[in-house]
Amino acid sequence: MSAAAAEEVLAGLDDRQAAAVVAPPGPVRIMAGAGTGKTRTITHRIAYQHLTGATPADSVLAVTHSAKAAGEMRDRLARLGAGNVQARTFHAAAMRQLRYFWPATGLPGDGPVLLDVDGRGAYYRYLRGALAVTLRTSAGDLDAALVTDLATELTWAAARDLTADKYPAAATAAGRRPGLSLATVAGAMRRYTTAKRAAGVLDFADLLSTCARMLEEHEEVAAAVRGQYASFVVDEYQDTDPAQQRLLDAWLDGRDRLAVVGDARQAVYAFKGADPALLRDFTVRFPHAVTVDLVHDHRSTRQVVEAANRLMAGRTEAAGPALVGMRGDGPAPLVERCDDEDDEDARVVTTVQGWLRAGVPAEEIAVLHRFNAQAVKLTAALRDAGVPVVAGDGSAYFDRREVAQTLTLLRRHASRAPDDDARAALDDALARAGYDPDAPPDGTGAARERWDALDALRALVASLPAALTRTVRTLSVDLDRRAAEDHAPPGRGAVTVTTIHKAKGLEWDACLLARATAGSLPSVYATTGAELAEERRLAYVAVTRARRHLVATWAAGRPGGRPARPSPYLDALAPADAPRGRDVARAALPGRGAGDRAGARFTAGQRVTHDRHGLGRVVDVRAGRVTVDFGSDGRRTLTPDGRLVAL
């Protein structure tokens, strides 16, 4: 191999990254803090080991937790001269080996037959049938939310490598709160497993356990696989679950040529079955392992990095050295107290517009929140202000079954009685869709998600100006418009609105953490020490998504006049001796002088309504005056007052 090529691989790495790259073939644990170049380090390590002859590329299996990460790793390795490395997800690697060695499994057919998990086809029919028998009812009478809850629990149980007999105790210990009793889940799990075995089919989770069992029970198959792969690399090791670890152990067979990379501070998937202790206790299993801490954060400014360090300081569940910001100085993170959610939505819009005016591209701005339903009003406020928005996961809120059903009921009401009271019609439609504002379902399952989605629709309508809620016809037309906007391409550049979980692995120049109240972050459902520790790590993920600008908002008032408290994590963002508050935050926004504050809640492109001129769109805001195009009523330059209302 070329010594010059190997040295070239080391060029441009910082000292910690280089130490991880040149460490012996294994075992190695790389503790990679946020923004420290995790993927760069691990791919350069694989290439360096190949180019120096320590570990040939075709003997390496690199496993990841997403197809996207595996693809990125393959692309980088090819550019580094190590294109023969197999980089796959755990499931893809298991599927490939099962197809090749299928006869050894003892299962019928020529290869694995998978149930359609994502398409909710045969998979959900099997689940529905198993649950119906367990509950002694007909499959047609089952609430879809119960089937979804069963699917969630079976996925978690498979990740934890649990049988039906072991599930209830493990679920109790983990604080699982599905919409079904744990005994019902266990009973349905037994029937579902029996039905799959009788039909000779597998689901997605079965790939791991079936492949592991094949290697454990068939020495000739195991020898062939282990002969091909002499060295293993695992990315995002903190997200690895026991089922994946079992397969990894079967591949290793006691060997120690293993390099893992991860960040204990970003372990936020315990609810899916991940076990961050695998990363934390790696050196217990391999006492001779080399550990390298990557601490140079090349992503964020010193101020953002220091906020992240304060958030995790002294936390034993995320032990490790503090990060060192390498991007220089930037603005201090800001915490904004708002009167209520409507005030918070306005503040979010103002902050985002300030960033846009300062030249931050829309695609470099993210609004992060804890729960899916919180996106509804935030997205509506931004779109009504003329800000293009895209959902972080590409999903459309108005496509949810219960929301679409409510809109259909409103549309029918409007066709037969267009002038009826909008809010009464909405209440009726929500009730017919199964929503009771005074009876949210217990637990965190699909029934609660459905209730939250309908409650978010009610809250959205409550925040709309009177002009849009005067009659059922006007409300129905407006909600249909919003549903259409959910599907419309956002155009060139759009602000991302997404949950913190979906933001993991991404980064933006400017991040706003919205709805940062106690009960939201940390979640009201987090009651155990482990759950609260994970909520803090989730806040850490949110903070470290920001490269330069970081703002958090919270609403002091809840619907019904109930008070709220700020998230306890906000003290880390803006310590007690740092300036904070509405006046400071407003002053920090670019492009805002004293002369234009009267019109600050309006911006070009925003939809508005006026009690005399009707619906219009803002075309200019200048010197405290707002120019609006009212269509047939022409353009009007107005002084903002109570008659001009933003939609």
Binding-site positions for ATP: 32-39
- Which residue, 210, 179, 223, 186, is CA-closest to 99? 210
Is residue 247 within 8 Å of residue 95, measured between CB atoms? no
Q: In what order do the strands lie in the sheet with 365-369?
A: 334-338, 546-555, 508-513, 365-369, 495-499, 389-391
Q: In what order do the strands lie in the sheet with 635-638?
A: 635-638, 625-629, 614-622, 607-610, 644-646
Tokens standing for residue 316: 């034993």
Tokens standing for residue 613: 């001129």
The Cα–Cα gap between 368 and 392 comes to 9
- Which residue, 24, 203, 146, 215, is CA-closest to 443? 146
Which residues, in sequence order, are bridge partners of residue 623?
none
Q: Torsion angle, CA of 498/502/504/505, rounded to 10 degrees?
A: -100
Is residue 523 within 8 Å of residue 567, measured between CB atoms? no
Is residue 277 within 8 Å of residue 530, measured between CB atoms? no
**Distance in Å from the first CA to the final CA of the chain:** 65
Binding-site residue positions: 32-39
Tokens standing for residue 506: 């991404």
Is residue 643 within 8 Å of residue 613, measured between CB atoms? no
The Cα–Cα gap between 380 and 465 comes to 13
Tokens standing for residue 615: 């619906």
Other Cβ atoms closer than 10 A to 237: 30
DSSP assignment letter at 215: H
